């Protein structure tokens, strides 16, 4: 009986001490003394969650279909919100997508859709959005380098490759106002430009131009050689004519 009484008194004494650091303000309950540890007593942050198994360590869920589950990151002058939009969310354009939202500017900064497309400066509400692309940027981009996959255009130098005759090329340009194989400006404005395909096509045109120049150089060289040969023949003929004229003069003088 004495042991039970001591245990009861100890419990009554310790319970207030255990809960002394937890306070309430209206419906808010907060901890006002140190870090909070879940699964650990060796905390290194205000909230430290620890586990040593393959489980979800934190789960946020909002079941309102038109809303989202998010976390706010608040600095001294900026607030960003990040989370996942529910299936029927339409206000921010993040349905079934992960996002980063600038709460100060009320602007969507980045979205990763359920299909894996990354939107920068855009959302699912953006007009003209094309989710067939893995990356959509609603603005300009600057980078130190960019690598685009390309097949190259070495096939132009294959013996079987046929160049379009320049007369035919001239007629094509007069009719279409763009090079063969190059998309017209109207299509580029409407659909954009595939850098890989366009770079390959431009390389093909440069290589074709090189072949045209080589062909023209051969023609000019042949014409130059022909002119030189004709000039030599003309000079030889002139020399023979001079000799004949000289012989005629001698014969005329001899008859006199």
Does residue 70 sit within a domain? yes
pLDDT of residue 3: 44
Q: Which of 34, 31, 37 is nearest to 49 (CA)?
A: 37
Domain that holds residue 35: 1-59
User: How many C-beta atoms lie closer than 10 Å to residue 178's C-beta?
Assistant: 15
How many domains does the chain contain in total? 3
Write down the H helix ranges in the chain.
2-19, 166-176, 185-191, 195-255
13 against 98, higher pLDDT = 98
166 with 239, same domain: the answer is yes
177 with 159, same domain: the answer is yes
**Domain end (from 41, 59, 77):** 59
12 with 53, same domain: the answer is yes
Does residue 149 sit within a domain? no
Does residue 114 sit within a domain? yes
| CA 188 – CA 176 distance, rounded (Å) | 15
46 with 72, same domain: the answer is no
170 with 237, same domain: the answer is yes
pLDDT in tens, 53-100: 998 888 899 999 999 999 999 999 999 999 999 999 999 999 999 999
72 with 38, same domain: the answer is no
221 with 236, same domain: the answer is yes
Give the three-class secondary structure for 180: coil
**Domain end (from 59, 77, 100):** 59
Q: What's the pTM?
A: 0.65
- What is the torsional sign of CA 80, 82, 88, 93? positive
Does residue 38 sit within a domain? yes
Strand pairing class (98-102; 79-85): antiparallel
Does residue 193 sit within a domain? yes
- Read off the pLDDT of each residue in 236-254 and give the average, rounded to a whole number: 87
Q: Rounded to the nearest 5 degrees, what angle is found at the Cα of 249, between the Cα atoms of 244 and 255?
A: 125
224 — phi, psi (to 5°)?
-65, -40
173 with 231, same domain: the answer is yes
pLDDT of residue 20: 53
DSSP state of 121: S
| CA 53 – CA 119 distance, rounded (Å) | 34
**Domain end (from 21, 42, 59):** 59
23 against 215, higher pLDDT = 215
165 with 235, same domain: the answer is yes
69 with 55, same domain: the answer is no
Q: Which of 206, 148, 152 is nearest to 179 (CA)?
A: 206
- Of 6-10, 80-84, 135-139, 238-242, the one with minimum mean pLDDT is 6-10
Does residue 11 sit within a domain? yes
208 against 191, higher pLDDT = 208
pLDDT of residue 31: 73
95 with 19, same domain: the answer is no
Are 70 and 81 in contact, with CB atoms under 8 Å apart?
yes
Q: Rounded to the nearest 5 degrees, what angle is found at the Cα of 200, between the Cα atoms of 131 and 214?
A: 165
pLDDT of 154 > 60? The answer is yes
pLDDT of 10 > 80? The answer is no
Does residue 136 sit within a domain? yes
- pLDDT confidence band for 8 (50 / 70 / 90): very low
Q: Which of 131, 85, 140 is nearest to 108 (CA)?
A: 85
pLDDT of residue 9: 39
pLDDT in tens, 107-137: 999 999 999 999 999 999 999 899 999 999 9
Output b/e per residue, 2-33; b: 16+ Cβ within 10 A. eeeeeeeeeeeeeeeeeeeeeeeeeeeeeeee
Contacts 24+ apart (CB under 8 A), 155-159: 156/204, 156/207, 156/208, 156/211, 157/207, 157/211
pLDDT of 4 > 50? The answer is no
| CA 125 – CA 97 distance, rounded (Å) | 12
Write down the H helix ranges in 77-194.
166-176, 185-191
Give the three-class secondary structure for 43: coil
Does residue 254 sit within a domain? no
75 with 135, same domain: the answer is yes
């Amino acid at each position: 009986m004495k042991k039970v009484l001591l245990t009861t008194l100890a419990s009554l004494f310790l319970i207030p001490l255990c809960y002394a650091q937890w306070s309430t303000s209206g419906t808010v309950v907060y901890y006002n003394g140190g870090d909070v540890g879940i699964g650990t007593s060796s905390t290194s942050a205000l909230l430290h969650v620890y586990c040593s198994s393959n489980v979800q360590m934190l789960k946020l869920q909002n079941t309102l279909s038109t809303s989202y589950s998010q976390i706010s990151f608040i600095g001294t002058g900026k607030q960003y919100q990040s989370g996942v939009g529910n299936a029927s969310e339409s206000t921010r354009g993040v349905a079934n997508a992960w996002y980063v939202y600038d709460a100060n500017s009320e602007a969507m900064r980045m979205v990763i859709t359920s299909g894996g497309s990354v939107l920068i400066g855009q959302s699912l509400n953006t007009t003209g959005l094309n989710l067939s692309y893995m990356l959509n940027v609603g603005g300009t981009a600057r980078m130190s380098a960019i690598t685009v996959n390309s097949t190259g255009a070495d096939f132009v130098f294959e013996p079987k490759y046929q160049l379009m005759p320049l007369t035919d090329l001239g007629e094509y340009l007069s009719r279409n106002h763009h090079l063969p194989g190059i998309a017209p400006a109207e299509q580029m404005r409407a659909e954009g430009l595939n850098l890989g395909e366009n770079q390959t096509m431009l390389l093909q045109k440069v290589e074709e131009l090189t072949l045209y120049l080589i062909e023209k150089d051969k023609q000019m060289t042949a014409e130059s050689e022909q002119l030189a040969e004709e000039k030599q023949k003309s000079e030889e003929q002139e020399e023979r004519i001079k000799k004949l004229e000289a012989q005629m003069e001698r014969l005329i003088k001899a008859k006199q």
